[in-house]
Amino acid sequence: MSAFVVTYSHIDAIVRAAQAYRARLSNFSWGFLGSEIPDPTDPERKTIDGATFCGKILLEANASSVAYRYKDQPEAALVAAYRYDWKRAPKLDGPALIKAIDCLEYQSCERPDWRETQAAKMLHELRSAAIAALPGYDSAAWSLRAY
């Protein structure tokens, strides 16, 4: 299977879900969600919203992975042009969100340092939050009794 850069709507859906699960996420991974910060892809360092910043982290990891896989240059312009679109961001939860996270991880894992990247940590934490939010998760037994 070939690696590809996911769509902006894919990134937007994951960022939208992170905003919805924000209470379950640490500031270490997703702490920029409610902030205005300098855009690292803008030479003038104009500020962007935290949701866009988080999306750029995810998109850059994905584009960098594809470039690494195919010995190509990362799609810097694609990452620089990204802006979170909260009005059009698809709403995903449960299995659909977990599958979208799995897809992005699979498309972003080609680099040898993937597991140490901020994007990997963000997706791992969001997956854990999505699983914990599944119906019945809180009431399920933590451990099982011996026979």
Reported pTM: 0.87
Q: State pLDDT tens for residues 49-74.
A: 888 989 999 999 999 999 999 988 76
pLDDT of 124 above 90? yes
pLDDT of 112 above 70? yes
Torsion sign across C-alpha atoms 107, 108, 114, 115: negative
Where do the domains of the chain lie? 8-132
φ, ψ of residue 52 to 5 degrees: the values are -65, -40
Question: How far, in Å, CA of 17 to CA of 21, rounded?
Answer: 6
**Using the 8-state DSSP alphabet, how is residue 29 labeled?**
H
